[in-house]
Each structure stands twice: as structure tokens, then as C-alpha cells.
Amino acid sequence: MALLITDECINCGACEPECPNTAIYEGGALWALNGQTHNPISNDFFYIVPDKCTECVGFHDEPQCQAVCPVDCIIVDPAHIETKEELLAKKESLDLMGR
Ligand code: SF4
Ligand code: SF4
């Protein structure tokens, strides 16, 4: 599963540096993958790029962003349900192509 930041985000920025996949971006910021940049997913709140979030599989036992969020506004994204094997494959793909 990728995770999702809800509109209860207070834009504190605590989650962004904790992400091992650089999957978290500030609202309005372009996101990048494999040397290409893309339009923001949210202009108002920090957001998670589903293609880059491995739910921390391959790095940590629990999602690091959820662990530090002071308002518990990071949830499982129902539109991006993935198995642990799929998440590990995503992590290995990111290892190869760059984050
Ligand atoms: Fe990044 Fe892990 Fe949070 Fe996904 S769950 S956004 S990989 S810190
Ligand atoms: Fe928003 Fe939570 Fe991240 Fe702070 S830690 S920017 S409140 S999602």
C-alpha cells in the first residue's frame, strides 16, 4: 500500500526528511523520479507520490512518516493497495532507476 496525506495536514514538514524514498513533497512542489519532474499532486498540503512510496518496506519495520506525524493525518491509500512483495519490487526498481 502506498500511504496518503489527508487534508488534516498542518504542513509542519516533519515527515518529508524521514522518507527513505523521497516520496514526500511540500504542497506546490514539483516531484521527481528518474530525472524527470512532474506537477504537484497537491498545492495545499504535503503529499506522497504513490509510485515512490513503498510503505517503508525494504528500509524500516513501520512507515516513518506515520511515526512522526503530529496529527496522524497519514493513512493507507485505498486507491493504491499493494502486497509486501509488490512494495519490495517497487523499492528495488527505485534502487535501479534512482529516486
Ligand atoms: Fe515515505 Fe515510508 Fe511514508 Fe511511504 S510510508 S511516504 S516510503 S516514509
Ligand atoms: Fe503534514 Fe503530518 Fe507531514 Fe506534518 S508530518 S507535514 S502534519 S503529513
CA of 79 to the centre of ligand 1 (A): 16
Q: Does residue 89 surpass a pLDDT of 90?
A: yes
Q: By C-alpha distance, which of 7, 28, 10, 1 is closest to 68?
A: 10
Task: Give the model confidence (pLDDT) of 26-40 as tens digits.
Answer: 999 999 999 999 999
> How open is the CA angle 41-20-58, to the nearest 5 degrees?
115
The ligand placed nearest to the CA atom of residue 44 is 2
Residue 12 CA: nearest ligand 2 atom is 4
Residue 74 CA: nearest ligand 1 atom is 3
- Work out the pLDDT band at 57, boundaries 50, 70, 90: very high
For residue 1, the model assigns a pLDDT of 58
Q: Is residue 57 a contact partner of residue 87, using CB atoms and an 8 Å limit?
A: yes
User: Which residue's CA is the closest to the ligand 1 atom numbered 8?
Assistant: 19
Residue 74 CA: nearest ligand 2 atom is 8
